[in-house]
């Protein structure tokens, strides 16, 4: 098979029909009749599944993978990629903020530059100033703590070769940060500047973004743990020096000590630091716990496909 188009469905009912029509047109133009469109239903609460299953009845090129519940966008994408059969795989969101027509210029660039991945990148991150600022801050912090420089403002839309996809799905983490996996998989990856539309409200709340940030840093860096060790060493050294000063003052200067305010401030400061340090260690322990159970990162309820294929 020449081409697989992979997308995920979550509250996607308003966009499925148009997405399917546009994706079909570009797939035929790029691969003739040798293609498939894989839609992964990530526990969508609307009519996305029913609409997608209806497409499988009229078009044997459409395959719908229905997950047993909502597992998350990144895990759903990895599930779709694992089932893709094409020599080239085009991953894209179904909400039409990214044009299915990206496939054609992506394919031209891949052929001209002989690379393994062509991915979409926004010239300027969309959204309000707070969203743009937090996005830039996240990439800077991630780079500082992990040593990995991720391309900023990347989109889901990307065209990949078969060998790259096979390498990508070898990652078996239960807690997936897919942008990091895209990067560390390697191969020759090239960016292409595209325009992202704004068709719907984002489902990534601030709380969810913070959770993704904590998970991504814990997945790709030991810097927080090393930082705790060194900071604890510095505090211990300063405490030892101060204790020596107090002994010297008691032994030779014989002056009464005062300053309950500073003592209480120090106790609260150190208590807060200890609690935060335990929290950081707890994040890593929770990841170890999650990985050690070896649970599948998604569970498929049913795969809908035409029997004629």
CATH topology of domain 3-220+296-305: Spore Coat Polysaccharide Biosynthesis Protein SpsA; Chain A (3.90.550)
Kind plus residue range of the DSSP H or E element containing 194: strand 189-194
CA 246/CA 9 separation, integer angstroms = 65
Residue with tokens 């996996």: 181
Between 41 and 138, the higher pLDDT residue: 41
Task: Using a pLDDT cut of 90, give the percent of the chain over it.
Answer: 40
List pLDDT tens digits, range 207-247.
Answer: 666 666 666 666 666 666 667 667 777 776 776 677 677 66
Model pTM? 0.72
Q: What is the per-residue pLDDT for 152? A: 74
What is the phi-psi region of residue 254: left when phi exceeds 0, alpha when psi lies from -120 to 50, beta otherwise?
left
Closest C-alpha among 200, 92, 94, 183 to residue 104: 92
Decide if pLDDT at 119 tops 60. yes
Q: Is the pLDDT of residue 291 over 70?
A: no
Q: Which two tokens stand for residue 102?
A: 């990206």
CA distances from 135 to 75, 193, 237 (A): 21, 18, 37
Kind and range of the H or E run holding 220: helix 206-220
The C-alpha atoms of residue 44 and residue 14 are separated, in whole angstroms, by 12
Give the domain ranges of the chain: 3-220+296-305, 223-292
């Amino acid at each position: 098979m020449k081409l697989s188009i992979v997308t995920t469905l979550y509250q996607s009912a308003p966009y499925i029909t148009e997405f399917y029509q546009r994706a079909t047109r570009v797939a035929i133009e790029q691969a003739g009749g040798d293609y498939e469109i894989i839609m992964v239903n990530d526990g969508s609460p609307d009519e996305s599944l029913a609409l997608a299953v209806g497409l499988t009845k009229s078009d044997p090129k459409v395959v719908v993978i229905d997950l047993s519940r909502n597992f998350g966008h990144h895990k759903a994408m990895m599930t779709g990629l694992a089932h893709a059969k094409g020599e080239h795989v085009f991953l894209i969101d179904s909400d039409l903020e990214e044009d299915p027509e990206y496939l054609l210029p992506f394919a031209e660039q891949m052929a001209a530059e002989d690379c393994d991945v062509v991915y979409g990148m926004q010239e300027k991150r969309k959204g309000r100033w707070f969203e743009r600022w937090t996005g830039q801050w996240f990439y800077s912090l991630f780079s500082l703590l992990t040593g990995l420089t991720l391309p900023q403002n990347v989109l889901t839309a990307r065209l990949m070769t078969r060998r790259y996809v096979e390498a990508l799905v070898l990652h078996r983490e239960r807690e997936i940060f897919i942008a990091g996996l895209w990067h560390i998989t390697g191969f020759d990856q090239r960016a292409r500047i595209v325009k992202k539309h704004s068709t719907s409200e984002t489902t990534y709340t601030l709380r969810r973004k913070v959770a993704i940030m904590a998970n991504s840093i814990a997945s790709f860096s030991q810097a927080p743990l090393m930082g705790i060790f060194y900071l604890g060493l510095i505090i211990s050294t300063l405490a030892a020096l101060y204790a020596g000063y107090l002994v010297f003052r008691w032994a030779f200067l014989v002056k009464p000590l005062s300053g309950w305010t500073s003592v209480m401030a120090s106790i609260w400061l150190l208590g807060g630091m200890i609690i935060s340090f335990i929290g950081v260690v707890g994040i890593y322990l929770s990841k170890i716990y999650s990985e050690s159970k070896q649970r599948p990162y998604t569970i498929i309820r049913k795969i809908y496909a035409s029997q004629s294929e």
